[in-house]
Amino acid sequence: MKLPVIRNLARDYEASKLMEAVDAFETKRENSLNVEGDDESEILTHMLMAIEVRKKMEDSGLSLQDAIREQGQRVQKLIKKG
């Protein structure tokens, strides 16, 4: 997972556009946004994380940096529980 890729996606696209890209990727294996990643799972991870960050920005009015920080903390908590 590469934070700069997630940051750029969340900055450049609305959540709805990212969700459309995820749908195209899952159904047609089409990388319509040319998302960087080492393999398909990383590309999908980048898109899904960007959706969560963007939703935080859109729903809560958080800045990009704060939304990324909050999402990162959420992921860390999940990893620790695992």
Q: Which stretches of the chain score pLDDT less than 70?
A: 82
Closest CA to 25 of 10, 14, 11, 37: 37
48-65 pLDDT, tens digit per residue, is 999 999 999 999 999 999
- Between helix 64-81 and helix 40-60 the angle, nearest 10°, is 120
